[in-house]
Each structure stands twice: as structure tokens, then as C-alpha cells.
């Protein structure tokens, strides 16, 4: 096991660092292991803060640019903390025509949260996605596992209140 100096980070507990050490040990020396290590580490911490990626690159003995390059290339990796609830708003054609833009701007204004961002209290993250395959319910928003159809700008904030 490699002894690395752990950076201080408010979102990463000692127990999380222990788990990340285990992940690095499991994969060190395996070609093409960066994605697996980042994915597992993100599952532990919730996202990939820069000091964590520095630690991983030292642990795997790989260039920092390789690790950061992979993390920023794949959309499955989050470089910023995610909210407890991820709101996916559909910007496909049917939802667009039925007014999803007004829904999005109502959410963004209320929580000061542009698309792709997280609210300051980390309650919500807002992501726009392509057609969710439920066009008959347009406009559609998904929060966690819950699908909300026929969402209106006038009732979307009420829906979000249920998740706070
Ligand atoms: S366009 Fe939104 S669900 Fe198809």
C-alpha cells in the first residue's frame, strides 16, 4: 500500500479517504484503469473535487493531465458537488413546444441555479436532457426516480417544495 499525504477537503471524510485508498490499491498498475477508479471514487465521495483527482493521479502514478482529462471528458463524472435531488428537465422537441423553457427559468430564478449547476444549499442540481421518451406527458421533468408530466411554470416550484 502506498502512503500518500491526504489533502484536507471538507467533503471528504477519513472513512472516504480509506475507501479511495482501497480503490487505488485495487487498480494500481492496471492499464486503462482511470475510468474505473474515478467512477468508484465518485460513488464514495459523490463527485470529483480537484484535490481528490490529484490524489488519485499520485496514487496511480499517472500524469495529472490524464486523470483530469478523463474526468472532464465523460459526462458521467461530476466535477462539482451534486444536490441531494437531481432535477432532469427534458429539452426535447415536444417538451420545448409545451413550454419547458419557462419551467426551467422558473427553477433557475428561484434557486439561483443555471442549468448544469447546483443550488447553494445543495438541495437540487438542474440538468437538461434530451427526449426522455415520454413525449405524451410533455413537458416532462424527472426528480430522482419520480417522473412529473405536464409540468407548468406555475406549479413547478410547488412540486420542488415536496423534496426539501
Ligand atoms: S421531448 Fe420530452 S419526453 Fe420526449
Q: What is the pLDDT of residues 30-51, one digit of tens each?
A: 999 999 999 999 999 989 999 9
Phi, psi of 148 (to 5 degrees): -115, 120
**pTM of the predicted structure, to 2 decimals:** 0.72
Domain containing residue 38 = 14-73
- Report the separation in Å between the CA atom of 90 and the middle of ligand 1, taken as the mean of its atom positions: 6
Atom of ligand 1 nearest to the CA of 95: 2
DSSP 81: P
- Report the separation in Å between the CA atom of 74 and the middle of ligand 1, taken as the mean of its atom positions: 23
Residue 72: C-alpha distances to residues 64, 118, 122 (Å): 12, 17, 21
DSSP 19: H
Residue 6 lies in a domain: no
Same-domain check for residues 43 and 95: no
pLDDT at 80: 86
* Total of domains in the chain: 2
For residues 89 and 129, is the Cβ–Cβ distance under 8 A? yes
Q: Which of 131, 136, 141 to mutate to test the pocket of ligand 1 (most atoms within 8 A of CB)?
A: 131
Domain endpoint, select from 29, 48, 73: 73
Same-domain check for residues 89 and 155: yes
Quick one: pLDDT band at residue 1, thresholds 50, 70, 90?
low
Pocket of ligand 1 (CB under 6 A): 90, 92-95, 131-135, 138, 140
Amino acid at each position: 500500500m502506498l502512503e500518500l499525504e491526504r489533502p484536507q477537503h471538507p467533503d471528504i471524510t477519513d472513512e472516504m479517504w480509506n475507501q479511495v485508498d482501497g480503490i487505488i490499491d485495487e487498480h494500481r498498475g492496471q492499464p486503462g484503469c482511470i475510468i474505473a477508479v474515478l467512477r468508484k471514487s465518485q460513488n464514495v465521495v459523490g463527485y470529483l473535487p480537484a484535490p481528490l483527482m490529484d490524489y488519485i493521479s499520485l496514487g496511480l502514478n499517472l500524469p495529472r493531465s490524464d486523470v483530469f482529462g478523463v474526468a472532464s471528458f465523460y459526462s458521467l463524472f461530476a466535477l462539482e458537488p451534486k444536490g441531494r435531488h437531481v432535477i432532469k428537465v427534458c429539452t426535447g422537441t415536444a417538451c420545448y413546444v409545451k413550454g419547458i423553457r419557462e419551467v426551467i427559468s422558473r427553477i433557475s430564478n428561484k434557486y439561483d441555479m443555471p442549468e448544469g449547476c447546483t443550488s447553494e444549499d445543495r438541495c437540487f442540481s438542474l440538468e437538461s436532457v434530451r427526449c426522455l421518451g415520454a413525449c405524451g406527458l410533455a413537458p416532462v421533468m424527472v426528480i430522482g426516480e419520480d417522473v412529473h408530466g405536464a409540468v407548468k411554470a406555475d406549479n413547478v416550484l410547488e412540486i420542488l417544495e415536496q423534496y426539501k
